[in-house]
Amino acid sequence: MRMYRITLFGGFEVVDNTGQRIQFRTRRGKLLIAYLASFPGVHSRDKLASLLWPDLPRARAHLCLRVELSALRHSLEAGGIMQHPLLKVTRDSVSLNTDQVFVDVLEFEWLFTQASQLDDQACISLLEQACDLYRGDYLEGYEAPWISMKRETYRLQFADLINRLYGIYINNGEYDRGMQLLNRELIKLPTKMINGLFKFYDIMKNAIDSHHFVQAKSSIRYAARRTPSGISVFAALHGASSAGTSLSAVQCENLGGVLIHRSEKMVIAVFDNPYRAAEWVSTEVERSKNLAGALTMDLWLPEARSQIVSKIQQLVISLNSGWIVCTEPVAYWLQRDSRWFLQELRFFLCGDLSERLFTLNSRHDLSIPPFRKDSSPILRERCLSSPYKKLWGREQEIEILHRWYRSAGREPSSRLLTIVGIGGIGKTHLASEFAYQIGCQSNNEVVFVSLEKVQTAAELEHAVLSALNEEFPRLRVHLEHVLNTRPMLLILDRAEHLQPLLAEQLLEWLERAPKLRVLVTSRIALDIPEERLLPLEPLPVPSTEIDDLDELQGYASVRLLLDEVRRALPHFRLTLNNAAQIAALCRFAGGIPLALILWAKRLIVYTPHQLLAELQGYSVKQTEPLDMAIGWTFYRLPVNLQCIICKLSILNDKWTLDLAREISGESLIGEYLNQLLLIGLLVVEDEKDFYWFSIPMPVREFARKLLSPEEREALGRNYALYYAHWVRQLMSSHMAWDVENLRQLRYHQNHLLASIDWLIRTGEFDMAAEMLILLAPFFETIGLFETPIRWGEQLASQPVSTERQICLLNILARFYHRIGNGWLAEQMYDRAYHLAMHSGHRAEAAKALTGLAGVHLDRLRVYQAEQLCRTVLHEYQNDASPIIRAEALLRLGYAVRAQMRTDEACQYLEHAVELYRQHGEKRYQAIALNALGFLNINRRKLQAAESLIQESLHLLREIQDHSLLPYALLRWGDLHRERGMYAEAASIYQDALEISRKVHLVGGQRAALKRLGELYYFRHKYRQARRAFKEACALSDYQRAETEPPPIEKAWYALLNRSLDEAESILMQRLRWMRENRIFSDVYYVLDLLALVFEKRKLISYSITIFEFSMAIRRKYNFYQNIKYIRMKISKLKQIKQIIDIPLQNKSKLNIIEETRYIIKDLI
């Protein structure tokens, strides 16, 4: 008989065989027992000490473990259970006496494993016992890395267990029993996992008849009209002034709804029928034009009322008037009724609510978007959409993929899977469907990347970063750092041409990112040890002996063929007259989905008998079914359509109607494309306000083989010339790089890259140089540097005009500067300057000097940077463009600010802002406004600072630049802190930190954490301050140069940890470095912190002296930030001095004071 029971599901509890609960003195003791119970076996003391006290030194952690074991022994003695010891403790190890203990999580694992090995009917009892054991989250209320890992594992196992048990109940016809279990068990899972169980309704719909389904649905919706329970439909109305009237409430009740929340601007009702909920919302929005409506499904529990109200408020308050949106479960029901027109949105809400959203009866005459984008950065474009066609016959493969995805979380060695198969077999479709399912069922990141146009390692990294976030390449984010920060499923499509490169890269990613799972589609395996393969076979085809209609329709190839035909001919049916022909067509296609689709397109024109007769009389050289289908369809086309397909086959990416007209030379290209769409040789997508056409890859490869090398070269030249002309036109119509310009270029990005590459390979160097020069700002904006640098180096050595060679050198220098290669940037700028001066191109010489000043600023050569900027502004005033002059003024402002010449810096920055404003350079205007706002905060001109920072925030939101938004928010928080609005400042700093984390902006994270730490410190929240500075210190190593002293965050962290010698050493290093480099912009900040260190040492007189030095600097240079706090601190210290003041006796401390005095004297 076991003497003790340890319960870890739903919390932590230990009881003996009499039912008495054992009390533990400390939380660490509970965690120790929980760890030993969860991981049976003998554990070394060293391992347990480092696990429970990871931040302590080894010796101190061992001491804490001994104290904890002693406390546990006393707790167990108090419980009177020493006759049957719970723990086995030796000099070197600790273990749990498993013979005496029942552990619920171990029993749950055993039941789960045993059930997985039995058939459905034999495992019901085991599954029900496991359900009873799972009382809630593993160690609920406790947090540690190993707890989070185990908790997520048990959640997934419990969700799988529920799915299987429900399926068994449905197959047995025990619907009531299934509903009771659903209502009882769902509350044990977090909300994000409940959404994954909506597929239960699909199973019920297909498994039971209409009468039973209505009964089951109503039983889970409502136990009674006044007390809703289970999954319900929530309908909300929101208005700017008011929402809902007494008539609205009456109409709601008439349709069967119950109001659960009502305020002046918000009404929320719950329904048991999605159609009635949609009718109520649409009627009210149509009646009152200032209303917005939202519909969602959720688990309705009376005790969760506030959470449900908060969730739907988050959705509907973000809507503009006149719009109605619904979540995916509601859309699933409404799409069955032709009354409701649904359209998926390209945006979804982040945060607590992150679901696919659909507009309901959306009115296209509205000129405003559904969401108010100016409220807060809660909107994000969804890159992964649902597959546009149903996936037939791949249920087993989908199940294999789901099992792999679940096991990859537990087995690190199996995190790479490759789907292999021939062209047209459906690898991309399968991966898209799986990605969509995973994205809907979990909050893990799912990223889909097509590698068709990728050739090098740099292009591979850029493609993955761009798919993750368009801001990442421009921010110079390291891909390994992004992959290692969050659970992610990375899908790499069409990877066969990158086999050696991708294999090496994936090994490195998987080693560095333990949370990463990778799914690859390829025609060949990657051939690495970590790879698991999923071969994709053709769909099964019926044999010649089968003539039963029901048996035929059981074949996935037949269902796919019929589904494709019914897209154009809705009334087409499988009959006894055409069954044999349909089966023969499936055999001709060999079960290959793309071949089946091509044959289905021909059935729009031919009857099955006619098409089969044509095929039987067709003689082809190709032996593969797909080649036969493509060849038969291709050679039946008129000659002009064959020529058009061959010409368009040189385009690897999606293309527009205008580009097709230019390449083909056909004025009526639209009519021809329409014919190709009907027969399945062309695909069209309605995306981003354009129709984008593409030819399926197997068809493109087939047609490209028919072109001669001369024809391919001529077509490629036309292609490149078209985009060269297009870029010239775009630059002439949009001289400033505005949002519309960037949007157009992003759509055509792959074609632009292909055009430049084509021009270089064919020797058109002048035209390639012109395109590269025109597109350089665009490449800088999207963060694409490696490929343009490679092109620039090739073109700079070719016979191009002198002016273009100078421009190329300036571009290369700027790009080298952006990727952190300051030495090469300096060399390139120097070459560009001398060549420009020699050839008389003074404007390009001014640009080179301005860029060189930026390099000097980054390398802390403040005086050299200042001299170069002044040279540009005085000697090249008539030659430099306004934008170059503005850039020189901006850098000159930074240079003089670093020397504490604040008024002069403000003048330069104001002049730069005006120049940027006149010429529409919004991004750099925002940078200058932000710097000017910071200086005005320091000068206590808060009203002026407020208007400047607000304008900067408005510009950044307008151009959607998230790389600079955190810095503007930080200035906004500084302004609130100066006004004494500390809670508001902390909230703004937190927003800046979250945005910086989302885009992996290390500098923004450091600055936000430093400000939060200071704010917590001065408000006496020392534990939170220590946590903030600790995280900032960890980030500082990413950015610090070798010659720069330790960052100020480390001094703060040392101060909070009472390591005063370390803090003092860091601050003095920083003061000496600032004096050597003549950079005094933050010297008063360092002095304030040094004074706090002296105060902690009880050296009150010297603390007052340092604070007075800081006050003198602030008065000298009109820097009044935090001046009230410094005055208050000096006054308080003078009072303390009368009570306590330890005189200095150590000469080294006295030398510090004298050295500081010398530095300050030199500055003032």
Would you tell me how many other CB atoms lie within 10 Å of the CB of residue 1142?
11
Which of 109-113, 582-586, 1003-1007 is least confident? 1003-1007
- 1106/868: higher pLDDT: 868
**Can you tell me the distance from the alpha carbon of 707 to that of 701, in angstroms, rounded to the nearest whole number?**
11
The average pLDDT across 1035-1049 equals: 65
Biggest CA–CA distance in the chain, Å, is 112
pLDDT for res 818: 73
- 736/890: higher pLDDT: 890
Which of 45-59, 682-696, 986-1000, 1045-1059 is least confident? 682-696
- 33/75: higher pLDDT: 33
User: H helices within 10-57, ranges in order?
Assistant: 27-38, 45-52
Q: In whole angstroms, how large is the CA radius of gyration of the chain?
A: 35
User: H helices within 409-486, ranges in order?
Assistant: 427-441, 457-468, 479-483
Would you tell me how many other CB atoms lie within 10 Å of the CB of residue 1139?
7
Instruction: Look at residue 1020 and tell me whether its pLDDT is greater than 70.
Output: yes
pLDDT for res 1079: 66
In 3D space, the residue among 432, 495, 431, 487 whose CA is nearest the CA of residue 459 turns out to be 495
Q: What is the pLDDT of residues 914-972, one digit of tens each?
A: 888 888 788 788 888 888 888 888 777 888 888 888 888 888 877 767 667 888 888 88
Is there a contact between 379 and 372 (Cβ–Cβ < 8 Å)?
A: no
First to last CA, the chain: 83
Q: What is the pLDDT of residues 548-569, one digit of tens each?
A: 788 888 888 888 888 888 877 8
In a domain, 198, yes or no: yes
Same domain, 594 and 617: yes
Q: Give me the helix-helix angle, 175-185 and 145-171, nearest 10°.
A: 170
Residue type at 616? Answer: Q
Which of 476-485, 605-614, 642-651, 903-912 is least confident? 476-485
pLDDT for res 419: 92
Can you read off the two tokens belonging to residue 341?
């027109």
CATH of residue 437's domain is 3.40.50.300
Residues of the chain with pLDDT > 70, as a percent, come to 79
In a domain, 144, yes or no: yes
**Residue 1154: phi, psi to the nearest 5?**
-65, -40
**Residue 412: phi, psi to the nearest 5?**
-60, -25
**Residue 231: phi, psi to the nearest 5?**
-80, 125
Same domain, 150 and 260: no
Q: What is the pLDDT of residues 381-420, one digit of tens each?
A: 334 444 556 788 888 888 888 888 888 766 666 788 999 9
The average pLDDT across 1135-1144 equals: 60
Instruction: Look at residue 1117 and tell me whether its pLDDT is greater than 90.
Output: no
- 163/477: higher pLDDT: 163
Instruction: Look at residue 1048 and tell me whether its pLDDT is greater than 60.
Output: yes
Residues facing 492 on adjacent strands: 449, 520
pLDDT for res 2: 62
CA angle centred on 746, ends 740 and 748, rounded to 5°: 110
- Please tell me what DSSP assigns to residue 1047: P
Same domain, 528 and 429: yes
pLDDT for res 621: 46
Residue type at 299? Answer: L
Same domain, 615 and 576: yes
Q: 1164 falls in which pLDDT band (50, 70, 90)?
A: low
In a domain, 1113, yes or no: yes
pLDDT for res 211: 36
Instruction: Look at residue 471 and tell me whether its pLDDT is greater than 60.
Output: no
Residues of the chain with pLDDT > 90, as a percent, come to 1
CATH of residue 11's domain is 1.10.10.10
pLDDT for res 150: 84
Which of 430-434, 558-562, 568-572, 986-990 is least confident? 568-572
The average pLDDT across 246-257 equals: 78
Same domain, 350 and 424: no
- 959/15: higher pLDDT: 15
Would you tell me how many other CB atoms lie within 10 Å of the CB of residue 227?
10
In a domain, 170, yes or no: yes
C-alpha pair distances (Å), 353 with each of 292, 299, 370, 771, 993 = 18, 14, 16, 44, 20
pLDDT for res 221: 30
Q: 739 falls in which pLDDT band (50, 70, 90)?
A: low
Q: 108 Cβ partners below 8 Å, 6+ apart?
A: 9, 130, 133, 134, 154, 157
Same domain, 408 and 531: yes
In a domain, 21, yes or no: yes
**Can you tell me the distance from the alpha carbon of 719 to that of 571, in angstroms, rounded to the nearest whole number?**
43
C-alpha pair distances (Å), 820 with each of 475, 814, 816, 933 = 12, 10, 6, 28
C-alpha pair distances (Å), 1056 with each of 310, 782, 1098 = 38, 41, 15
Last residue of some domain: 591, 608, 635?
Answer: 635
Bridge-based pairing of strands 227-228 and 222-224 is antiparallel
Same domain, 348 and 229: yes
Q: Give me the helix-helix angle, 457-468 and 499-512, nearest 10°.
A: 50
DSSP string, 715-734: HHHHHHHHHHHHHHHHHHH-
CA 422 to chain centre: 32
Bridge-based pairing of strands 379-381 and 516-522 is unpaired
Is there a contact between 858 and 1043 (Cβ–Cβ < 8 Å)?
A: no
**By three-state DSSP, how is residue 245 classified?**
coil
The average pLDDT across 270-293 equals: 84
Last residue of some domain: 502, 535, 568?
Answer: 535
- 241/265: higher pLDDT: 265
The average pLDDT across 476-482 equals: 65
pLDDT for res 301: 62
DSSP string, 904-956: HHHHHHHHHHHHHHHTT-HHHHHHHHHHHHHHHHHTT-HHHHHHHHHHHHHHH
- Number of domains making up the chain: 7
pLDDT for res 882: 85
Same domain, 213 and 137: yes
For residue 313, give its domain range: 225-381
Residues in the chain: 1164
Q: 876 Cβ partners below 8 Å, 6+ apart?
A: 842, 843, 845, 846, 849
Which of 137-141, 717-721, 1113-1117, 1131-1135 is least confident? 1113-1117
Write down the mean pLDDT value for the chain: 77
Same domain, 438 and 576: no
In a domain, 1089, yes or no: yes
Instruction: Look at residue 851 and tell me whether its pLDDT is greater than 60.
Output: yes
**Can you tell me the distance from the alpha carbon of 771 to that of 998, in angstroms, rounded to the nearest whole number?**
33
Is there a contact between 889 and 908 (Cβ–Cβ < 8 Å)?
A: yes
The average pLDDT across 660-673 equals: 82
Q: What is the pLDDT of residues 126-161, one digit of tens each?
A: 888 888 888 888 888 788 878 877 887 888 788 778
In a domain, 759, yes or no: no
pLDDT for res 208: 41
Residues facing 14 on adjacent strands: 6
Which of 216-230, 639-653, 1011-1025 is least confident? 216-230
Same domain, 423 and 513: yes
Q: 364 falls in which pLDDT band (50, 70, 90)?
A: very low
CATH of residue 351's domain is 3.30.70.1230
Last residue of some domain: 635, 664, 698?
Answer: 635
Same domain, 71 and 189: no
In 3D space, the residue among 1104, 1091, 1008 whose CA is nearest the CA of residue 1051 turns out to be 1091
Same domain, 336 and 259: yes
In a domain, 1042, yes or no: no
